[in-house]
Amino acid sequence: MPKIKVALIGVGNSASAIVQGAYYYRNAEKGKKSLGLKNLLIGDYHPKDVEFVAAFDIDERKVGKDLSEAIFSQPNNAPKIADVPHLEVEVLKGPVLDGVGEYLKNVVKISKLKEIDVTRKLKESGADMVINLLPSGAVKASRWYAERALEAKCALINATPTLIASDVAWDKRFREAKVPIVGDDLVDQVGATILHKILLKTLADQGVRIAETYQLDVGGGTESLDTLERSKEAKRAMKTKAVEASLPYKAAVVAGSTDYVDFLGNRRDSYFWIKGFYFAKTPMQLDLRLSTVDAPNAGSVMLDVMRGVKIALNRKVFGSLISLSAYAFKNPPQMLPLETAEQWFKEFIDGKRKQ
């Protein structure tokens, strides 16, 4: 199979987990070795078919290093899950723009090296796709890199909450450039939003009438800190919309990040509260806490997305990919119920659905 050539925008904790994951599962076959992967194969593509060909960051502790070293450089604190060989992919200096908010100024050490010509590098690397892994608050930078992806004729995977794939104007531009785009805001494999949606749907299917529910997250790491400062309300709106879609009726729903705790490191604690009524209007309440390590949550989903985008490129399917976006992102161009999104994704991979 031809390699899936990937360029990374931002070499933070999520990038660390994604790169490590591609090597962790490189020799995986069915059974125990594929434990933790939702799909070992997407079409004919295996995780070993992923090749990282370019990477961009702004931190002096990462810029100039090989990607295999940069993913373990501070301020990253994702756990080490695999040995990554020297990749001969130098992390290059991109523009800062709005990539560093006030809360991150004392965390990120901006490199003094000259900014690279990103479009030229993407073309030279032969990248099939660009993954935007910038902080949630980096709206200008996310759009700037989307422009570079268009110029280089690369597909774009927008893992951030910046509205790109779900924006009709961007969809039109990517369609005209004849490259696909998916997004926005990647879901976690074992995340609060997906779990919340499943809980609500299960209860509603059992005849429970949900009256009120909330989901609140507390985390450490640079992403949680940046979210607290610059994108808390935007992420809350997206998560709330995503959770509301799991119910066939209106209820009082609040979902979103709430606070940053330094000593949690790369851990995240999510709290759920659900109030409803079942037989004969009998009241019920559910109170839960989910504790996860944040970075690895991006791995399985992103491996599915990269391989799905490669299939779209092979088939010459352009613009916003509806099924792939609904399957893997919190704010897709078209919000679908969980089971519908799963079915559409499978149909797309099998060639039974165009987008």
Give the pLDDT confidence score for residue 272 in this predicted structure: 95
Tell which residue, 9, 6, 23, has the closest CA to residue 86: 23
Dihedral angle over CA of 186, 63, 58, 229, nearest 10: 60
Asked whether the beta carbons of 197 and 253 are under 8 A apart, the reply is: no
pLDDT tens-digit series, residues 58-85 = 999 999 999 999 999 999 999 999 999 9
* Class of residue 240 by CB neighbours under 10 A (exposed 0-12, middle 13-18, buried 19+): middle
Look up the CATH architecture of domain 192-293: 2-Layer Sandwich (3.30)
Q: Are 192 and 255 in contact (CB under 8 A)?
A: yes
pLDDT at position 338 is: 86
Q: Are strands 319-320 and 180-182 parallel, antiparallel or unpaired?
A: parallel
**Other C-beta atoms within 10 Å of 271: how many?**
15
SS3 of the chain: the string is: CCCEEEEEECCCHHHHHHHHHHHHCCCCCCCHHHCCCCCCCECCECHHHEEEEEEEECECCCCCCEHHHHCCCCCCCCCCCCCCCCCCCEEEECCCCCCCCHHHCCCCCECCCCCCCHHHHHHHHCCCEEEECCCCCCHHHHHHHHHHHHHHCCEEEECCCCCCCCCHHHHHHHHHHCCEEECCCECCCCCHHHHHHHHHHHHHHCCCEEEEEEEEEEECHHHHHHHHHHHHHHHHHHHHHHHHCCCCCCCEEEEEEEEECHHHCCEEEEEEEEEEEEHHHEEEEEEEEEEEECHHHHHHHHHHHHHHHHHHHHHCCCEECHHHHHHHECCCCCCCCHHHHHHHHHHHHCCCCCC
Residue 126, pLDDT score: 98
Q: Which structure tokens are listed for 307?
A: 């391989």
pLDDT in tens, 200-259: 999 999 999 999 999 999 998 888 888 888 778 888 888 898 899 899 999 999 998 778
Cα separation values, 257 from 74, 114, 135, 163, Å: 24, 35, 14, 18
pTM: 0.92
Instruction: Check residue 106 and give its pLDDT.
Output: 84
Whole-angstrom distance, CA of residue 177 vs CA of residue 262: 43
Domain ranges of the chain: 4-187+297-349, 192-293
Tell me what pLDDT residue 49 has: 97
Torsion of CA 312, 313, 315, 318, to 10 degrees: 70
Q: Write down the architecture of domain 4-187+297-349 according to CATH.
A: 3-Layer(aba) Sandwich (3.40)
Q: Across the chain, what does the average pLDDT equal?
A: 94
Q: What residues in the chain have per-residue pLDDT under 50?
A: none
Residue 267: CA count within 13 A, CB half-sphere: 9
